[in-house]
Amino acid sequence: MTSDCLPHQVLPPTINLEKPEPADLPGIAHVTVGGAPADGRPLRAALSNSFGFGGVNVSLCFARWAPAGAPVTQDE
Amino acid sequence: MRFGERIVVTGVGIVSPLGVGVRTVWPRLLAGGCGVKRLESLRGQTSEVAAPVPRGSEDGEFDPARCRLMAPGDAQTIAPFAQFALAAAAEALDSARWAPATDAERERTGVAIGSGIGSLADIVDASDTMRERGPRRVSAYFVPRMLVNMAAGHVSIRAGLRGPLSCPATACATGASAVSDAALLLMSGAADVMLAGGAEACIEPLAIAGFGKLRAVSTAYNASPERASRPFDAGRDGFVMGEGAAVLVLETEGHARRRGATVLAELCGFGLSADAHHITAPPDNGAGALRTMRTALRMAEACGHPFVDYVNAHATSTPQGDAAELRAISALAADRPAGSLPLLVSATKGATGHLLGGAGALEAAFTVLALHHQVLLTLMTSDCLPHQVLLTLMTSDCLHHQVLSP
C-alpha cells in the first residue's frame, strides 16, 4: 500500500498521548494514530463510554451493519 | 437488544471544535487535528484554553445563515447551544434522507436532545441586567433562551417533529443518555424514528471558574493549547472545555428497511448505572464503569454481537477519571477468553476538548463513523483509488454503492 492507495483510516486517535499512565495495563492497546487497526483486524462492535458528575455511567454498544445472514467471525 | 426490533443508526450530524459537518470533522479527526485554542475571553482565568466551534462563512464553519432549520433573527431568540443542535439535526436528517412530511410520519418521529448546563451565558447576562438596571429590563427571551430543554424544543419545532420530546440532563453523560433514552422509546413502540443527541455552549468565564475550583480543568498548558487535552497521558492535568452538538438519527430496523434507508451501524446494546459514591469522583477501580460496560456487552451478545474490538473512552484528561476508566477497560478485557486480541482504546477529547452534555453524542457519532467506514473499506479491499477520491467518498454520506460498481 502506498499513500495513493486505500487509506485505512478507520479509528480516531488519542492525540497527545506520549506516556500512558497507568502504564502496562493488560488487555489494552492505545490507538495514537488514526487509521485501521495495526493488527489488521476487522471492527465488529465498539463501546462508547460516557460518565458524569453525580456518578452517572452510560456505555453504548454499536455494531457494524452486516447484511442479513452474514457470518460473525470468531476472535482471531 | 430485544423487546422490539433492532435499532439502527441512519444519520449523523456534527457541530464541533474540529468544524461543522461530518465531511469536515471526520478527516480532521483521523488526521490527528486539534480544536483547542488559547482564548482572549478567558485571559486571567486559571485555564485560558478551550475548544470553540469555528464560526464563519467558510465551508466547515458554523454559519446560522447556512442552516436550513434556522431563520434570520434566530441569534436573538435562540441560545448558541440550541443553534448548534439545530445545525447538527439538519445534517443528521439530511444524511438519513428522512424528511417526514405526512402527519403520521411527523407524529412517529421524536427528539431526545439534552444539554448539561443550558445557556449559562444568558443567566450571567440577565443577572447583570437585573442588578444594574432592575427586573423590568430582563429580556423576554431570557427564559426560553436559557432553558436546558430548548435545544430539543427548537429542533422539534423547526423540523416539525411531533413524536416524543425529551431532554436528559446527566452532566457529561447527557449525549449518551439521550441515545439510550431514544432507543428505549423506539423499543417500546412510542416512535419509529428518534433524533438523539446533546448540545453545549458553555465556554464562559463563570463555567471555567467553577470547574477550575473543582480542579477539573487543565491549567498547565496555557502556552501550548494544542497539548492541553491529553487523555491517558502521564502529563494530563484536567479537561479542556469544548462546545458543539451532535445528533444521531435512530430508527427501528423495520422502518429503515421499509423506506430503503442506508444503515450506518446498529445500536446493539447499552449499559446504564450509577456509582452511588461521590458527587464528582468515580471509585478508583472504575467499578461503575466496568459494570455498565458489562451490561452493554450482555445486551449486545444477546443481539448476536459477542465481539467488541474498540472502546471510545470517556477519558476527559483528568488524572483520576482516566485512570479509573482504563482499569475498568482492562478488567473488561480480562473477561474475554485467553488469547484474545487487546481491546483497542482511544479518546477523542484530545482533539475536541470536552463538550460536556454534547460529548456522549459526539463520541457515539465517531464510533458509528468508525464502524461504518470499516464496512466500506472491507468491501473495497482490492481496489486502489486515488487518495483524494477516497477521502471524498469516505466522507460523503451515502457512498459505497457508487464505489462498488466498477
pLDDT, mean over chain B = 92
Residue B212 has pLDDT above 60, yes or no: yes
Mean pLDDT, residues B81-100 taken together: 98
* Residue A10: per-residue pLDDT: 85
Indicate the angle between helix axes B387-395 and B359-379, nearest 10 degrees.
130
CB contact under 8 Å between B344 and A32, yes or no, is: no
* Residue B401: per-residue pLDDT: 30
Grade residue B195 by pLDDT with cuts at 50, 70 and 90: very high
* Residue B377: per-residue pLDDT: 54
* Residue B184: per-residue pLDDT: 97
CB contact under 8 Å between B351 and A39, yes or no, is: no
* Residue B137: per-residue pLDDT: 98
Residue B404 has pLDDT above 60, yes or no: no
Side-by-side strand order, sheet with B37-38: B37-38, B49-51, B241-242
- Burial (0-12, 13-18, 19+ Cβ within 10 Å), B220: middle
Q: What is the distance in angstroms between the CA of the first residue and the CA of the last residue of chain A?
A: 23
Mean pLDDT, residues B57-81 taken together: 96
B133 vs B403: which has the higher pLDDT: B133
Q: How far apart are CA B208 and CA B199, in angstroms?
A: 18
Residues in chain B: 406
Number of neighbouring beta carbons within 10 Å of residue A2: 7
Q: Residue B171: which of A35, A47, A54 has the nearest Cβ?
A: A54
% residues pLDDT > 70 (chain B): 91
Residues in chain A: 76
* Residue B375: per-residue pLDDT: 60
* Residue A36: per-residue pLDDT: 84
Nearest residue of chain B to residue A16 (CA atoms)? B230
pLDDT in tens, B254-287: 999 999 999 999 999 999 999 999 999 999 999 9
Residue A73 has pLDDT above 50, yes or no: no
Set of chain A residues whose Cβ sits within 8 Å of the Cβ of B390? 6-7
pLDDT in tens, B308-343: 999 999 999 999 999 999 999 999 999 999 999 999
Set of chain B residues whose Cβ sits within 8 Å of the Cβ of A14? 231-232, 315, 345-348, 350
pLDDT in tens, B330-388: 999 999 999 999 999 999 999 999 999 999 999 999 999 999 987 655 444 434 443 44
* Residue B394: per-residue pLDDT: 46
B87 vs B394: which has the higher pLDDT: B87
Number of neighbouring beta carbons within 10 Å of residue B37: 19
Residue B50 has pLDDT above 60, yes or no: yes
Set of chain A residues whose Cβ sits within 8 Å of the Cβ of B314? 49-51
Nearest residue of chain B to residue A21 (CA atoms)? B234
* Residue A53: per-residue pLDDT: 96
* Residue A38: per-residue pLDDT: 81
Grade residue B406 by pLDDT with cuts at 50, 70 and 90: very low
* Residue B202: per-residue pLDDT: 97
H or E, element range at B110: strand B109-114
B154 in contact with A, Cβ within 8 Å: no
pLDDT in tens, A16-69: 999 999 998 999 999 999 888 888 888 899 999 999 999 999 999 999 987 554
* Residue A24: per-residue pLDDT: 86
Q: What is the pTM of this model?
A: 0.92
Does the structure's ipTM exceed the value 0.90? yes
Q: How far apart are CA A46 and CA B306, in angstroms?
A: 11
Chain A interface mutation, best of B174, B177, B221, B292, highest count of A Cβ atoms under 10 Å: B292
* Among candidate residues B193, B230, B248, B215, the one with its CA nearest the CA of residue B358: B248
CB contact under 8 Å between A50 and B380, yes or no, is: no
> Tell me, what DSSP letter sits at residue B337?
P
Kindly give the residue spans of alpha helices, DSSP state H, lying in B201-337: 205-213, 253-258, 287-302, 319-334
Min Cα–Cα distance to chain B from A40, Å: 11
Mean pLDDT, residues B221-238 taken together: 98
Active site residue B354: yes
Set of chain B residues whose Cβ sits within 8 Å of the Cβ of A73? 307
Interface list for B 277-306 with A (CB within 8 A): 277-280, 282, 288-289, 291-293, 295-297, 299-300, 303-306
Catalytic residue among B154, B354, B372, B373, which?
Answer: B354
Active site residue B172: yes
